[in-house]
Structure 1
Amino acid sequence: MKLKEPKVNWRNFEVACRLAKSCGVTTAMFTGKGEPTIFPDQITTYLEKMEKHNFPLIELQTNGILLSEKADKYDRHLKTWYEKGMTTIAVSIVHYEPEKNRQIYLPHKKSYIDLPRLIETLHGYGLSVRLTCIAANGFIDSSRVLDNLLSFAKENKVEQLTLTPVNKPDAEHNGHLESWNWTTAHCLRDEQLGEIKAHLESSGSKLMVLGHGAVVYDLHGQNICLNNCLSVQPDADGMRNIIFFPDGHIRYYWQYEGAILL
């Protein structure tokens, strides 16, 4: 059964774009709790409505599965997205080994996508590639494994690599027991994260500290950003995120219903 595109409040999307520009936003990202590439034509419509606002960087966060498995279908979409200002495709991963990624993203299938080929394909359209890796216990959980990931990224000419540790969850699961159990089992221990940080500090060159505290390094000639999951910063001077939802609501935190602007 074909999924129906979400209905979009385009009037409020225009409000969100104007608000973002007035706040000095330089990067717009397509993301969500689902997979954005399920509705490729709608991505094109968003880009068309964003054109007049001239955001310098426009990114798409994706698991890459549809882009890889249905490459012929997405050929025209990727060309159009590039022409309309998209700059970066951020592919979500948990490891450089296909089997590790399969366990998380395609548990119902026997094999994972050909990630190196996807990266090469995206480069062929002129797009930059970021690998956004969740650092989890049993996956990327030490400097040794991280160095292997860095080698994979460099071999495939990946422009950016982001590492976001799985943090220890709240004491209560708040109705999301399955995800709470997984996070509890796979969050990085303090010593694991400490060892990774020490490796980046001692072996890498610190390039930049971003406004929300993430640190960008050059390690072995590869860009890597050590991110943090701390999106709630009540003492910050400004908002880290302006999040537009198709129903027209504009929020600044994902997890709190009260964090709403419109």
Structure 2
Amino acid sequence: MIHPMDNSDNYYEKKFLFHNSIYLTIFGDKRNLNQNFLRYNNIVIPSSTPLLNIHRLNPIRYVGNHGNPFGRNIRGIFRGCCANVTDIDSDGIRYIIFNTLKGLPGWDIGESSDREEYSRLLARSKYGLTPSEWSLDVNRIWEYLAFGVVPIVIADGIIKPFEDDIDWDSMIVRVRRNDVHRIDEILDAISEDEYQRKRERVWLIGKYLLINNGCVWHFIARSFCRMLKRIDQEIIYIDGYTYHST
């Protein structure tokens, strides 16, 4: 059952009818705070974004065929609402972003931009902030991957799509909620070589899944097979890179 929201079967009056269902959901929580999500019974899938799924912009138009590796002069970018929100739903993360990072050199932070300007800014950005939404979902991550931007994931306990097959830590920067005020310091500790490795992985996976219409259903099928214990270690080849998965 494809279920894009975070409340899963809480939407239904007779939710007991869905106890045996496998949800394909954009929401996954390792902390088990959402008892409706079961780590090895549900499958986390990519979420949609306005740029890619509504306006259907082609990132190649902005970053070229190689992901614009040399024209990225913006340290970090964020577009989103709620600059003054400090409530528990958003963990106060956005308040810190707007009132701390916004004034630092190299950061481009704002509440909105038209899609053309935003696309051009993404093409020039090295890192992109992905704070949790009202749930742990971080849908901006897909825009970042499509434009070759290294995501900074600020969502403690999040399960990202296809974690058993995609090495997310090779291409993202994880920042815990309590360390949001240290993001600039954390990025300073990342060498240029490490950044370039992450950027290359981001572009590789982003191009495969989002630009070249890579087979997301392939990863979903692998997740089902893994549940049935019908999958052994195999090698996946993506654009010349080798991935060992189990």
TM superposition score normalised by structure 1: 0.25
Report which structure shows greater RCO (CA 8 Å, sep ≥6): 2
